[in-house]
Amino acid sequence: MALIVQSFVLRPSMTVSDLAPMLWHSGGTITALLHEIVSIYGLIHPPTLTAMDSNRVCNSLALLQCVASHPETRSPFLSAQIPQYLYPFLSTSSTAQPFEFLRLTSLGVIGALVKTDEREVIDFLLTTEIIPLCLQIMQHGTELSKTVATFILQKILSDDTGLSHVCQTYERFSHVARTLGNMVINLEKEKSARLLKHVIRCYLRLSDNPRAREALRSVLPDQLKGDTFDGCLEDSSVRNWLTLLRKALDEPVGPDQGMAAAAALH
């Protein structure tokens, strides 16, 4: 199986438009890929994963990402609950390179799903623990894994159902807001334009919810209110998003609306 996987993954010049349906409908292929994934669960705790083990599973994950990206196979991919097989890799905390590759490739599969902006994808993900897992990576991952995890959160929030889910309770909103706030503090020390872009997009989308907008007035980091990141805002779109965020939070709110919003989040 590993040789079959490598033949597809390691030949970038090879284009097979129907690869995803071929993988999904060929007998035993998806089962074999899942077997590759499950076979290394025992190497996660304690962390004994080798580079060879990681590369082999990342090849399998790359093929699953192909299946997740294709419109014909995406729905059955979700119905089979296949993303759940990846979550043990997202919950790892080891900073060793084999684990980081595994996290990034797993995030890539989820990222391929949310890129479609389909309600079915968001509805599925909201029934899983993907948001807490992304928040964990946003706190403790490398810059690249933080960026992909924040992108996934941003895409979930961009859906009305996802935004309502996060803002439904104070606990959910505060977990997201606290994580984003910590990221902003860290970004002041180690600036990253691409990561900052997704953080601002998350804040801006949260501000679309009246209850969250009122809460953000008091928890938005000071670094986003001043000129801390002026050197990172070369992209005019990002500057515009930050301006829109500030304007949204500067809009006056009546006392009754403010009290209702605060009470709703509690």
- What is residue 234's predicted lDDT score, i.e. its pLDDT? 83
pLDDT in tens, 196-246: 999 999 999 999 999 999 999 999 999 999 999 988 888 899 999 999 999
Nearest 5°: the CA angle 235, 112, 138 is 60
pLDDT in tens, 37-56: 999 999 999 999 999 999 99
Q: Domain count for the chain, please give it.
A: 2
Q: Is 240 left (phi over 0), alpha (psi -120 to 50) or beta?
A: alpha
- What is residue 14's predicted lDDT score, i.e. its pLDDT? 44
CA 123, 127, 128, 134 torsion-angle sign = positive
Q: Are both 127 and 177 inside the same structural domain?
A: no
DSSP annotation of 206 reads H
Query: Does residue 33 lie in a domain region?
Result: no
Phi, psi for 260 (deg, rounded to 5):
-65, -40
Give CA–CA dist 49/105, Å, rounded: 15
Structure tokens at 104: 């990034």
List Cβ<8 Å contacts ≥24 apart for 242-250. Answer: 242/200, 242/204, 244/204, 245/200, 245/203, 245/204, 245/207, 245/220, 248/204, 248/207, 248/213, 249/207, 249/213, 249/216, 249/217, 249/220
- Of 150, 165, 180, the one marking the end of a domain is 165
Q: What confidence category does residue 17 fall into, taking pLDDT thresholds of 50, 70 and 90?
A: confident
Structure tokens at 244: 């829109």
Give CA–CA dist 48/196, Å, rounded: 33
Query: Does residue 72 lie in a domain region?
Result: yes
pLDDT at 169 over 50: yes
Residue range of the domain that includes 192? 167-220+229-266
Average pLDDT over the chain, rounded to an integer: 90
Q: Are both 152 and 193 inside the same structural domain?
A: no
Query: Does residue 155 lie in a domain region?
Result: yes
pLDDT in tens, 243-260: 999 999 997 665 444 444
CA 104 to chain centre: 10
Of 49, 40, 52, which is closest to residue 86 (Cα–Cα)? 40
pLDDT in tens, 105-119: 999 999 999 999 999
The C-alpha torsion from 168 through 169 and 175 to 177, rounded to 10°, is 60
- What is residue 143's predicted lDDT score, i.e. its pLDDT? 95
Q: Are both 161 and 83 inside the same structural domain?
A: yes
Q: Are both 68 and 128 inside the same structural domain?
A: yes
Q: What confidence category does residue 16 fall into, taking pLDDT thresholds of 50, 70 and 90?
A: low
The pTM of the full predicted model, rounded to 2 decimals, is: 0.89
pLDDT at 10 over 60: no
Q: What percent of the chain has pLDDT over 70?
A: 88
